Structure 1
């Protein structure tokens, strides 16, 4: 469904996937301080371990330790 909608919008469907949208949603939710359970309700993730990986990636990129190397 994602690829067909992207194609209708005149964009390259190879640049988009349902996985990327779900992963991006969780990453942005983590950055905005939305709780993991609340974000999982929207994203449809059933595995806490999988969803938490996106939260951990977000923290690693924007946390205090990451700011030390800026």
Structure 2
């Protein structure tokens, strides 16, 4: 719920109308991606190199690389499917697994 413009529960990233009113609904993934690309362009970065999906994927990978069990970052990334989120986790496991350590 939003108290004025202060979010106290529910989605953190929400729609804001032209008058500055905070909506109860979350931004769509497409909106997040457009905002990210616009901000990258403003920062002088190539927006083609960045996507909201890659940020989420990087977050899951980094969390699992640091030993966080998969259900915890899934709560934040809002993955509903364990198999979908597990692909990121499995990539992290392969990178840090015993077989990978034999290569270095």
Give 1 or 2: higher helix fraction.
Answer: 1
Give 1 or 2: higher strand fraction.
Answer: 2
Residue deviations 1:10-69 (CA, integer Å, cap 9, x gap): 211000001100100000000111121110112222221110111111110111111112
Normalising by structure 1, report the TM-score: 0.89
* Alignment of 1:12 onto 2:46: yes
Gaps of 5+ in 2: 1-34
- What is the distance in 2 between the residues matched to 1:4 and 1:48? 31
* Alignment of 1:25 onto 2:92: no
Residues matched between the structures, number: 70
- What is the distance in 2 between the residues matched to 1:60 and 1:45? 21
Which of the residues 65, 89, 95 maps onto 1:61?
A: 95
**Higher relative contact order at CA 8 Å, sep ≥6: structure 1 or structure 2?**
1
Normalising by structure 2, report the TM-score: 0.63
- What is the distance in 2 between the residues matched to 1:5 and 1:45? 25
Q: Which has the larger radius of gyration?
A: 2
